[in-house]
A and B are shown apart, each in its own frame.
Chain A
Amino acid sequence: MAAAVTTLWDTNGTAVVKELAAQRRTGGAVLSGVALTLVVVADESRVEEAEEAAAHAAEMHPCRLLVVVRRQLDSPAPRLDAEVTIGGRLGPGEAVVMRMYGRLGLHAESVVLPLLAADAPVVAWWHAPPPERLATDALAVIADRRITDSSMGPDPVAALRTRAADYAPGDTDLAWTRSTPWRAALTSTVDSVAGRRGEAVRLLGGVVEGDPRRASARLLAGWLSARCDCAVDVVDSDRAAGPGGVDTVVLRLDRDEEVRVRADRRAGALITQPHRPDATVALPDRPLGDLLGEELRRLDPDEPYSEALAAATGVTGLAGRPAVREHEWFDPFQREDA
């Protein structure tokens, strides 16, 4: 099927809804079976990157894709431009890219709400600096799952603290997603020690060598601390750490044993463990689309993440917070608004 693309200039939400419906009707065999709506909030400078990642994730998880770009909040005349496509550049499903100018950006939900796939979960992903308090963005309030990326800003460690302070069940962060291959490699290494011993392994401590200024390294250490109930720190490694900020992880086990997983800089990791020869496993750097795809697999609260975040930042009581946020009105130009 040829992709249908329509661009609507200076339009309104109703026209966008109509256009989407029209394309669904004339588009012929549209991919059906929508599992969720993915709302992407992106900066103009990052739209392309976000679109590519979202299109990739949409191939694995049939979804309706809504991209929101807020521009020139201070522009005097609010305006909406929208591009509606089905089965094209933006993946196999239905997609709408919306550019919102002026104060419309503060009311993006008025355009987004009628475009959500009926009764399907909503996932919001900020491929832009997210608000300090997610509740100030109405798009976060309507979303069942909220994805941020603490590694984007200038100070990822501060960003993590902000996320911990603001956390509600259903929040997640791509810095956490980036740690999955490390967590998998560590877990299967400890599995193999337990397998060899034929009995349980206890973790006594460990250390993450890498870049302490990176969010993924912090979350990995936080996760290890939470799992073994002991402090695991991130220390500067002797060589520059890879993209996730982790170079080597050393775990101290009971019986005076130790395991070590070290990035080999060739998309793999070298595993050192007692009584076994060294081995390597895959430890790929995954593109943004794969990370997003992993996030969309499950939409329930991610408890291991909240525990890792709590341990990494020292903020407590995350899991007990209410899962629902209430919208807080926030106006960057305050006095102007009536």
Chain B
Amino acid sequence: MIRNPLRDPRDRRLPRVPEPCALVVFGITGDLARKKLLPAVYDLANRGLLPTNFALLGFARREWDDAAFAELARDAARKAARTPWREEVWERLAGGVHFVHGSFDDDNAFDALAERLHELEGSSGIGGNAAFYLSIPPGQFPVVLKQMQRTGMADSTPERWRRVVVEKPFGTDLPSSRELNALVDSVFTPEDVFRIDHYLGKETVQNLLALRFANTLFEPVWNGHHVDSVQITMAEDVGIGTRAAFYERTGAARDVLQNHLLQLLALTAMEEPVNFSAEEIRTEKLKVLRAISLPADLSASAVRGQYEQGWLAGQRVPGYRQEEGVAPDSRTETFAAVRFGVETRRWAGVPFYLRAGKRLPRRVTEIALVFERAPHLPFSDTDTEELGNNQLVIRVQPDEGVTLKFGSKVPGSVMEVRDVSMDFLYGEQFTESSPEAYERLLLDVLLGDATLFPRNSEVEASWAVIDPLEAFWAGSTPHPYRAGEWGPRAADEMLAAEGRRWRRP
């Protein structure tokens, strides 16, 4: 039903703007809130994508008043905003910025928050709608959720919506994620829970769905008849920075394999959704995640590594065990490479190689489909020595785009064939001005659009894949690799044993 005569489905110029609402951020003083959330809120305001009535509430332990908080928020937003800074936009936003101070275990503070929110319903005209962003250490989730339950803040009614945004990690293994999901879903209802996997907010990841399902060219070869193997790589050149305490407990597999890489795998391998709705896309992703299999012999198909000191980009960098806050005998992995199968008719027999690591030569995330060799080549062996497998590569970041690698004749009077790459590149500026992942996802939360958010069953299915790996690795020592190399030699041997090799991204 169209409730607003000015809305016209043919009118694609008018943006989707959320209903009047409040955004409540727990942990507003934290790293994520300052670097991502506040700038994203400003950018949304600057693009005219915030509702007519909007309030931002920050909750933290410091004793600030609204003005002091607004000042901090302004600096943070200004520092990392993507759109040009316009003071008047911020001033307008600042009129709706409020601060509530208190600790998570303090009942009075939450009563004050509930009170403040209630006041704003009338005075700011937000009409009771609110999204709560848990930008806090995961250990604090239960206490905050229980406080929201106690004060009734989490209840959606026909008159108002209440939503919650949860950041990764969603637990540390299957049992803990079940527990967390059960808690979040009981305090809020499952439809009101938004789990952020910021990879899904990236343009190129969404473009993967367009590439696959809007074209006829790729789908016929998108299966085990034509695809030899799939490689998904997420490489970072940075180390662990100041996150030692978190990383020591977590490791590469739990940090990024469980969420980002498995989501990329799901989008690559999933069947066509019935339609482009949140429900249907999640259904197809879930089927893939549940179809993932691990080889019986993990010793030959799961490798983990840890960086040692080395040189990266012309600078000496310390090894993982020398990083501040890391145990000198740490067994946490900073690199993981695994071979999965996807047990469906489409993918039976096709290995999916996933790898993620820190202190690798460069920052790059990509999905590569490596195609079968031609069954017969009418050229002589020497003509095609330099011909490799055809590849289709989705470059997720940086240099967002698509590469197609195929054989082509070397110009000249003899027949020689070698590989060339054809690149589709989104312009640098295109990606600069396109919204940051957090901006897009925050907008979707306020609009109630869950298409780009994994649901609890996806998270659980992902842990079900990771848990056996963690169990297998428990107690073992990761293979060392030098910072600035593409991971430990064991990872190369893992592919070599199957007659393949890693693509150098």
Contact = CB atoms under 8 A, between A and B. Distances in A.
Contact of A279 (B5, B13, B88, B125): B125
Contacts of B10: 303-304
Contact of B48 (A186, A201, A284): A284
Given A60-B429, A266-B88, A277-B123, A195 B19 contact: yes
A92 B428 contact: yes
A167 B424 CA distance: 36
Interface of B: 1-8, 10-15, 17, 19-20, 45-48, 50-54, 86, 88-89, 92, 95, 122-125, 127, 158-159, 401, 423-430, 432-433
A18 interface: no
A302 B138 CA distance: 48
A24 to B, nearest CB: 14
Contacts of A202: 5
11 contacts: A60-B433, A183-B6, A191-B3, A192-B52, A195-B127, A200-B1, A201-B3, A268-B92, A280-B92, A304-B8, A304-B11
B4 A267 contact: no
Given A191-B19, A192-B20, A271-B52, A203 B127 contact: no
Interface in A273-314: 273, 275-277, 279-284, 294, 297-298, 303-304
- For B4, B124, B426, the residue with the greatest tally of chain A CB atoms inside 10 Å of its CB is B4
Contact of A32 (B48, B53, B88, B425): B425
B7 A187 contact: yes
Contact of A60 (B8, B14, B47, B430): B430
Contacts of B1: 200
Interface string A143-187: 000000000000000000000000000000000010011011111
Interface string A46-78: 000000000000111110000000000000000
A59 B429 contact: yes
Given A33-B425, A276-B53, A190 B5 contact: yes
A282 B14 contact: no
B13 A188 contact: no
Contacts of B425: 29, 31-33
Given A267-B89, A282-B89, A227 B20 contact: no
Contacts of A304: 8, 10-11, 13
Given A183-B14, A304-B10, A279 B53 contact: yes
A188 B92 contact: no
B430 A192 contact: no
A192 B53 contact: yes
B6 A277 contact: no
Given A33-B424, A59-B429, A192-B20, A184 B14 contact: yes
Nearest to A184: B14
Contact of B4 (A58, A191, A271): A191
Given A198-B159, A201-B5, 6 more contacts: A59-B430, A62-B430, A191-B7, A277-B125, A280-B92, A304-B11
A282 B47 CA distance: 8
A120 interface: no
Contacts of A224: 6
A27 to B, nearest CB: 13
A240 interface: no
Contacts of A59: 427, 429-430, 432-433
A282 B87 CA distance: 12
Given A187-B7, A228-B5, A92 B13 contact: no
- For A32, A294, A297, the residue with the greatest tally of chain B CB atoms inside 10 Å of its CB is A32
A183 B13 contact: yes
A33 B401 contact: yes
Given A180-B14, A192-B19, A267 B5 contact: no
Contact of A227 (B5, B424, B432): B5
**5 cross-chain pairs, A with B, having the tightest CB-CB distances, nearest first:** A59-B429, A276-B125, A194-B3, A188-B17, A33-B424
Contacts of A266: 88
A65 to B, nearest CB: 13
Contacts of B426: 33, 62
Contacts of A256: none
